[in-house]
Amino acid sequence: MTGRRTRPRRAGARTAAWVYVALMLFFLFAPLAVVLAVSFNPTANMNLQFTAFSLRWYHQVATDPLVVAAFRRTALAAVVTAVVSAALGLTGALGAARLSQRWRTVIFTVPLVPLAFPALLFGIGLASFYHAIGAGFSIWATIAGHVILALPFVFLVFAAALERFRFSLLDAARDLGAGSFTIFRTVTLPLLRPAILGAMFLSMAISADEFVIAFFTAGSQQTLPLVLYGRINLGVNPGLNAIGSVLLLITMALAFFAARTSVLELP
């Protein structure tokens, strides 16, 4: 986005840029579009010969108790992950923001390390850890893993928001008689609302389509991606496309809201 807008560009360069972006978007979204399209195709053989528009497969999965239960669990995991990681991330970032520049750099860098860690190893490690402390495998074990996974992203969102945050406004509130909790409720929270919403949508999106951690820790309480994977092992079925499409749309909507809320500054 930091292109040199002020410099006049040659028309050829501009066209090339548009072609590049169009191709990129095509390769990015074409497979997703296929999944989406096929999910509305009533025939059982998965090809791109459309006969009619049908919600047959959606009806099939919506009446499948296993899928419905998994969908509920996924929703639960997403919401709890969002709330917990936002709460932890916000308090952590608020604390870190009060440190000196040097320590702040350290605090804001350390949580990024897990991002570079292979997810598979992280999942196995988490499972071994649960086993070692005697905790069983369940959706809650998965949620704990999702919180850990989402936390670096959430932390980054808050760190960026706090870079621009005018802490002197808190002084103004205190000067007008507000105690710490009132200041948090009436000034800090409303001013950070875009960042909080953005962080929550982001962590929901991360949790909703997460596979590896759920695979190792959910046990019998499977989430939607796990059910999807299980079904693929039983043979490819257009119903999978319906599940995949739902998952896709939810994740994209969340990502969209995440981007929108954190980029848009409330007046």
Partner 1 sequence: MTDTSPPVVRLDGVTKYFGPVLAVSEVCLEIRQGEFFSLLGPSGCGKSTTLRMVAGFEQPDHGSIFIQGTDVTERPANKRNANMVFQNYELFPHMTVLENVSYGLKIKRVPKAEARHRTEAMLETVGVSGLENRRASQLSGGQQQRVALARALVNEPAVLLLDEPLSALDAKLRKRMQLELKTIQHKLSTTFLYVTHDQEEALLMSDRIGIMSQGRLLQVGTAREIYESPSHPFVADFVGSLNAFPLRLDEVTGLLGVSRLGQAQQVTVGVPGGTQPGTFLQVAIRPEQVRMRPRLDADGAAAGADGKECRVYGMVHDIMYLGPLTHYLVDTPALGRIVSQQLSERRAAPFRAGDNVVLSWEPDATFALGAAGGTAGNGA
Which residues contact partner 1 by CB under 8 A? 166, 168-169, 171-179, 182, 186-187, 190-191, 266-267
Pick 134 or 177: Cβ nearer partner 1: 177
State the minimum distance, in angstroms, from the CB of residue 64 to partner 1.
46
Pick 76 or 178: Cβ nearer partner 1: 178
Pick 128 or 186: Cβ nearer partner 1: 186
State the minimum distance, in angstroms, from the CB of residue 103 to partner 1.
16
- Name the residue type at position 244: G
| 224: Cα separation from own chain's centroid | 15
State the minimum distance, in angstroms, from the CB of residue 189 to partner 1.
10
DSSP single-letter state for residue 164: T
Pick 15 or 180: Cβ nearer partner 1: 180
State the minimum distance, in angstroms, from the CB of residue 163 to partner 1.
16
State the minimum distance, in angstroms, from the CB of residue 132 to partner 1.
46
CB-facing half-sphere around the CA of 172: CA atoms within 13 A: 7
* Gyration radius (Cα) of the chain, Å: 22
Pick 112 or 172: Cβ nearer partner 1: 172
Pick 7 or 164: Cβ nearer partner 1: 164
Pick 135 or 169: Cβ nearer partner 1: 169
State the minimum distance, in angstroms, from the CB of residue 101 to partner 1.
15
Residue 33's alpha-carbon distances to 28, 40, 45, 127, 222, in angstroms, are 9, 11, 17, 35, 26
Contact 182, 228 (CB under 8 A): no
Q: How far apart are CA 76 and CA 79, in angstroms?
A: 5
Work out the number of other CB atoms within 10 angstroms of the CB of residue 48. 8
- Name the residue type at position 158: F
Residue with tokens 């808050």: 158
DSSP characters over 108-151: HHGGGGGGGS-HHHHHHHHHHHHHHHTPPPSHHHHHHHHHHHHH
Question: What tokens appear for 150 in the block?
Answer: 């989402």
Question: What tokens appear for 102 in the block?
Answer: 């040097």
Q: How far apart are CA 76 and CA 253, in angstroms?
A: 17
State the minimum distance, in angstroms, from the CB of residue 94 to partner 1.
17
